[in-house]
Each structure stands twice: as structure tokens, then as C-alpha cells.
Amino acid sequence: MLIAGNWKMHTTSAEAFTLASRICESVHSDGASEVVVCPPFVSMRAAADAVAGSRILLGAQTMFWETQGAFTGEVSAGMLLEFGCRFCIVGHSERRGRFGKSDLPANLLAYFSETDAVVARKFSAALGAGLIPILCVGETEKERAEHRTEQVIQTQLNAALCAGTDARFVIAYEPVWAIGTGDVCEPDEADRVCAFIRTAAKKAGTSEQFQVVYGGSVNAENARALLERESVEGVLVGGASLEPDEFSKIIAIGDEIAK
């Protein structure tokens, strides 16, 4: 059972240290689930210091696929590993320019424009460096209304998994319409789509070393209903991971179910 928190563009270094410390203090040291926090790059050292010696693992929110070079503003896998990172989110819908809730005008959405090809390079580079990628896939509200959920997800999976892999990775089903909106996917539907993702990933030639988790407006109230579903093997938590008490409750639920 994987419980991961994506802090997005929140926390200064001091705030990250406090948040990570409070999470460490609130969870049992011998819990049965795997817990990851993904702070912004500039807060990573502070978070790493706070979780040192605890069961909390460190993840990043994205990375670049080259090891070094003239790529202003980018961060490589090697830089992340230096902080003790174990996981890295790739292809989050917000990085792809697909927002569930946003005040950005349409002409600025292209700034966030990671394509399936870009995500595939990042996924492959993360695996090659020894990181565990958390590959995000999911449909927009319009795509869902057009009954294209499976088609969209299949396309996203095919791009990233085309070469197959025997290494461990995670696939996060994050319906775009549920991210940051408060509209959580119904547990039975999340279970159905996660089952579809597992089958599709297997057909792409991957090993059994992967998990399928759900993300999108997860909180302490709905986490149990989601985590109790057979095909949901964890959650990727957004806003609720910034509240140590809330996130700790979600972790406790994961620990209980994972036993």
C-alpha cells in the first residue's frame, strides 16, 4: 500500500521541515504501508533532513530526462538522488497543461505542455537512474463525457510503457476533473479504471513490479472507501497532504488495510 503526498508549489524550506517533522511525529514507525512526500525542489533538503531516520520516503514532483547539459531550470535524476529521493512523479496532469480547476487563461496553458513523448522520456530516465516513477494518467471531464476514458489512458500508457520494464514503478490514476476540485471519483469507478490500467500495463509487456494507485481530491473521509477496493493499491494525495493531521489519518487507514 503506497500513500504519497504531492505538495505541489507549497512550502518554504522552513515550512517543509515543520510539515515533514509533524508527519513523522504523527505516524507509527512500524506501519505496514509505504509513505512518500514530494516537496518542491527548493524545499527538498529541509524535507530530507526532517524525514531522516523515519519511515517516510522522499519523492520529487518531476525531473528532466538528461543527466546534465544546457537545460536552464531543469533538474536531473542524479540531483534528486543526492537528496535521497526514491520516487519521482512524472506526467502529472498539471505538468501536461490539463487542469481540473484553474484560473489560468487558455493562452497560458501551453506553458504547461508536456506531451506523451516527453513523459515517456522522463519515465525511462527515472527507471534508468534507479528512481521509482509515479506515472500519472487520467482523462478530462470532456473526455469522460465523450466516453473516452479508456482510450485516453491507453494512449498515455502506451507511450510510457512501450519499451517494457522489469523495474518497479507506480501508475497513478488521476482523473483530471477530480484534481483540486473536491469531486472525488466514486470508489467503484476508481476501482474499475485501476483494474483496466493494470490489465493494460501488463499487455504492454511490463513485469508484476508495479502498483496502481488513485489520486484526485483524496482526504481522510474518502480514503478508506478508496483503499478498500481490490484494484486500488494506494493513493496520491494533493491538498490533504499539506495538513499533517489529515495526512496522518490517511496513512493510518493505509496501515490498517495493508496489514
- Total domains, the chain: 1
Q: What is the pLDDT of residue 166?
A: 78
- Is the Cβ–Cβ distance between 87 and 36 less than 8 Å? yes
Largest distance between two CA atoms of the chain: 48
Q: What is the pLDDT of residue 160?
A: 93
Residue 76 makes CB contacts below 8 A (sequence gap 6+) with 63, 64, 66, 67, 68
Residue range(s) defining the domain that contains residue 224: 2-258
| Rounded average pLDDT over 212-233 | 97
| Residues 99-138 pLDDT 10s | 988 888 888 988 899 999 999 999 999 999 999 999 999 9
User: Which pTM was predicted?
Assistant: 0.96
At residue 171, what are phi and psi to the nearest 5 degrees? -115, 125
What residues are annotated to the active site? 92, 174
Print the SS3 string covering the chain: CEEEEECCCCCCHHHHHHHHHHHHHHCCCCCCCEEEEECCHHHHHHHHHHHCCCCEEEEECCCCCCCCCCCCCCCCHHHHHHCCCCEEEECCCCCCCCCCCCCCCHHHHHHCCCCHHHHHHHHHHHHHHCCEEEEEECCCHHHHHCCCHHHHHHHHHHHHHCCCCCCCEEEEECCHHHCCCCCCCCHHHHHHHHHHHHHHHHHCCCCCCEEEEEECCCCCCCHHHHHCCCCCCEEEECHHHHCHHHHHHHHHHHHHHHC
| Rounded average pLDDT over 164-168 | 80
Say yes or no to pLDDT of 185 above 70. yes
Q: What is the pLDDT of residue 180?
A: 82
Say yes or no to pLDDT of 145 above 70. yes
Q: What is the pLDDT of residue 170?
A: 97
| 126: CATH | 3.20.20.70
Q: What is the pLDDT of residue 235?
A: 98
On average, the pLDDT of the chain sits at 95
